[in-house]
Amino acid sequence: MLKVKEPPATSIAMTNPTMRVHLWLENEEGVLFGLGRLQLLRQVEQCGSLKAAAESLGMSYRGAWGKIKTTEELLGQKLIERAASRRKGYHLTPFGLGIAESFDKWYREVERFAFAKSEEFLPFSLKKYK
């Protein structure tokens, strides 16, 4: 283990920095899934509309559609589908719901592990990201 000198009391480290973890899955062809895709899927489910979901995340409709389509093509599964009535917009497919839930659980587990290990390896305390 690396021995680190105690930081001076005025050091930024003493202000308890916030831990952030950024995880995503990719291959040579592009991003398969990540936190951004998870947030987009959650918003589609909540809003019932890809346009509204994109706007709520500060994205263009085209950008959101491109991310969904890229992931669907790379995974070979649909993430969203039109509701029975066009007026009801979109909802997640069973696969979309499943991957969103699974990724979220995995992400939270990795985040908990990283936070717990920070006490072992870092000379200062961290705050959890809210």
Beta bridge partners of 33: 25
CATH code: domain 30-122 is: 1.10.10.10
pLDDT in tens, the chain (130 residues): 566 555 555 555 567 888 888 999 999 998 999 999 999 999 999 999 999 999 999 999 999 999 999 999 999 999 999 877 666 789 999 999 999 999 999 999 999 999 999 888 988 888 887 7
Whole-prediction pTM: 0.81
